[in-house]
Structure 1
Amino acid sequence: MEYSPPPLFKQGASARAKMMICACISIALLLFDSRVGALTVVRQVVGTVLYPLQVVAMLPRDALVGVGTYFSTLSGLEKRVRELQTQQISMAQALQQAQLTQAENAQLRKLLEAREKVPGKTMLAEILYDARDVFTRKVILNRGTQQGVTAGLPVIDNQGVVGQVTRVFPFTSEVTLLTDKEQAIPVQVLRNGLRSVAYGRGQSGNLDLRFMAPNADVVVGDILITSGIDGVYPAGLAVARVTQVENSANGMFGRVVCQPLAGIERNTQLLILTSVPELPPRPPEEDTSKPARKKKPADAAAGAQEAAPAAAAGTAPVNTPANTPANAPAAVGAAAAPATPGLRPAAPPQPLAATPSAAPAAVPVAPTPAPRATAPAATPAPAAPRETR
């Protein structure tokens, strides 16, 4: 009986032979595909059929990679957002500083232009802060006596008058604004030259023209400028614009409200007028008392001639009631000289007592010597009269 292995264990060609056959087929297919390119379609068909299987097989890996990428991207985005926010804040601050610098440069250019137009010397000052008193309109500047600032100097900007220096310290100075209740400035209407005085209204930030006639020629829109009659503010500086005019027929005065032209609430730099144009000196005040009338030379000579007999008569002996005759009063009256203007008058003669009829004979009185003919020529010239001031 012939023995043979079962079919399951039957072996064909050897494994080495099979490997060699497959290797030869593969090399042949590679050469054929590289030379002719006939297997391109087959490759595309096989890849299309196997693609869903490839996607399903790659799902777990893609899920793990996606989760890791999501969390890393989220943390990176949060960090980037924080950086951008910080950069935005810094850029906003830089933008604000640039805008502030641009505004200051524009204001300084305007101040320089106004500085060239204003007569006299000016000084640039910066506002430090407002005054502590909330009921006043005052600001503090960074210029004081060390820089040559004195009280009373006017302060302006590129649009008009701002106020006046009221107090000065070594390194700072206090400026009272025009809108303060205690501040006043003489103004005139630019259109017709009408003069008045503008007073501040306090916290309202406006000015008043007080004591104006109801029929005064002032209309809304008129520009008020400094008149210069006070000697503090130079003439021609812009002050305010008329915004309201109320004329009441029953009242004695009208009401005129004005708005300052200067940027009182918006400025950071101002100009101090350290020297104003010199005005001609004021004329001296006239004396109200009436001056004494001066004597003419002719009147002075006549008074000297009249005074000469009186001086000669003054050398005669004085009569007493005991030895004066009855006709003595007439003689004494004839000898008395009239009062001379400008000279101190002599004492008036005393009245004589009546002489009794039984009185002894009167003692003869020495006759008064007559004035010499050459007395007027020998009389010295009268002194010049003193002027009474």
Structure 2
Amino acid sequence: MAGIDHSPPPFFKRGPAPLALLSLYLGLSISLMVLDHKFHYLEWVRQGVAVFTTPLQMLAHAPSKGFSQVDEYFASLISLQKENDQLKHTQLEAATILQRHQHLEAENRHLRELLGVKERLPTGGQLAQILYAARDPFSRRVIVDKGMQDNVLAGQPVVDHLGVIGQVTRVYPLLSEITLITDKDQAVPVQVVRSGLRSVVFGLGNGQLELRYMPANADVQNGDVLVTSGLDGIFPAGFPVAKVVHMERDTTYSFARIICVPVAGVEHFGEVMILNPREALPPRPAEASATPAEGDKPASSKVRRIKRSVGN
């Protein structure tokens, strides 16, 4: 029995020790990492592996992506339903307001006909695209893509869907220059909607406006809306211009300092409307001559002449 060999046959012999294999594989990995970092030898290997593993990755992410898409679909569907309901509600309110507005317009037209007052002319215009701002950093001017070939004239008012933007001040063959109402050289005759007071609003050059020549005790409050008065013959009456945001009343000064901000998107929107020019206002009546006519001389001078003639 002592002579029997219990060692396994050569076919089942064990290989190198596990520690030796670990050291071998670790050294090989470090060598490959160093070579790839310096010489990029394994770049094609990574690309080849990525070609085969990309479909597997997409297949693995397909269930989670499908669930997220279904979730987004139902969320967007609920959001669209809410938005649709809100738009229907807004449409009903707008329809009611429009009907009332049409009724008021018809009533106003009838009253004007009864009183013999001339109807206000309809305001039309053409759409223009703002291309860029002027080069002068101290001015508030923009350039639009309408010019002489589009029958644009200097002096035409410019508005957007919220209110007055500015005025055309220079016209080129293909372009036009618009001076914004916030420019320090721009002035617009306005009227306070709440109280009906008329004045002139001037640009300050910093995005704000100032309502000048108003007494310190004028009936103007924060939040008052200013609209064009139409007295200059350029801007049609009734267009929103600015809103009062700050007031300084000092009894030592004759006028109050009233700061406003424009209602329209003066420096925000890219499209504006150039309104058609208004009809010329009738000329001012000629002033009466300072020297009275012979028939209009005072009675006292006539009496003096009569006395002198009697005395002679």
| TM norm structure 2 | 0.57
Q: Describe the superposition over 1:154-185 as per-residue Cα deviations: whole angstroms up to 9, x where unpaired.
A: 00000000000000111101000000000000
Residue 149 in 1 paired to residue 152 in 2? Answer: yes
**2:233–2:281: 8 Å Cα contact kept in structure 1?**
no
CA distance in 1, matches of 2:55, 2:170: 56
Q: Which residues of structure 2 form unaligned runs of 5+?
A: 1-11, 13-43, 58-119, 297-308
The residue number in structure 1 matching 2:179 is 176
- Matched residue, 2:224: 222
Whole-Å separation in 1 of the counterparts to 2:143 and 2:292: 53
Aligned to 2:253: 251
**Equivalent position SS for 2:213:** strand
- Find runs of 4+ consecutive structure 1 residues off by over 4 angstroms: 68-71, 75-81
Partner of 1:213: 215
- Shift of the alpha carbon at 1:249? 2.2
Q: CA 1:260–1:118 in structure 2 vs 1: closer, same or farther (change >3 Å)?
A: farther
What is the one-letter code of the residue matched to 1:120?
Answer: T
CA distance in 2, matches of 1:74, 1:289: 101
The letter of the residue matching 1:146 is: Q
Q: 1:74 to 1:182 in 2, by over 3 A?
A: same
- Alpha-carbon offset, residue 210 of structure 1: 1.6
Contact 2:234 2:277 in 1 (8 A): no
Does residue 193 (structure 1) correspond to residue 196 (structure 2)? The answer is: yes
The alpha-carbon deviation at position 285 of structure 1 amounts to 1.6
Alignment of 1:284 with 2:260, yes or no, is no
Q: In the TM superposition, what is the alpha-carbon distance from 1:136 to its structure 2 partner?
A: 0.3
Q: 1:77 to 1:258 in 2, by over 3 A?
A: farther
Distance in 2 of aligned mates of 1:126 and 1:138 = 14
Aligned-residue RMSD, C-alpha: 3.2
Aligned partners of 1:128 and 1:159: how far apart in 2? 20
Q: Give how far 1:279 is off.
A: 6.2
Q: Equivalent residue for 1:97?
A: none
What are the Cα deviations for residues 323-352 of structure 1, in whole angstroms up to 9, with x where unaligned? xxxxxxxxxxxxxxxx9xxxxxxxxxxxxx
Q: Which amino acid aligns with 1:74?
A: A
Could you give the per-residue CA deviations for residues 35-83 of structure 1, whole angstroms, max 9, x where no partner exists?
A: xxxxxxxxxxxxxxxxxx9xxxxxxxxxxxxxx99873335568999xx
Q: Secondary structure in 2 aligned to 1:212?
A: coil
Q: Within 5 Å, which residues of 2 pair with 1:40-119?
A: 72-75=48-51, 119=122
Give the C-alpha shift of residue 118 in structure 1: 9.1
Residue 249 of structure 2 aligns to which amino acid in structure 1?
Answer: N
The reply on whether 1:166 has 2:169 as its aligned counterpart is yes
Name the amino acid aligned to 1:187: V
Structure 1: state its 5+ residue gaps: 1-52, 54-67, 82-116, 296-338, 340-389
In the TM superposition, residue 206 of structure 1 has moved relative to its aligned partner by 0.4
CA offset at residue 280 of structure 1?
5.4
Q: Distance in 2 between matches of 1:134 and 1:80?
A: 58
The one-letter code matched in structure 2 to 1:292 is A
* Residues 334-382 of structure 1: CA deviation (Å, up to 9, x unaligned): xxxxx9xxxxxxxxxxxxxxxxxxxxxxxxxxxxxxxxxxxxxxxxxxx
Equivalent residues of 2:194, 2:225 under 8 A apart: yes
- Partner amino acid, structure 2, of 1:72: G
Residue 287 of structure 1: CA displacement? 3.2
Which residue type is aligned with residue 255 of structure 1?
Answer: R
Alignment match, 1:136: 139
Q: Deviations over 1:109-129 (max 9, x none)?
A: xxxxxxxx9932201100011
CA distance in 1, matches of 2:292, 2:249: 48
Deviation at 1:282, TM superposition (A): 3.2
- Tell me the TM-score normalized by structure 1: 0.46
Distance change in 2, residues 1:283/1:201 (3 Å): closer
- Percent identity over the alignment is 47
1:122–1:294 Cα change, 3 Å:
same
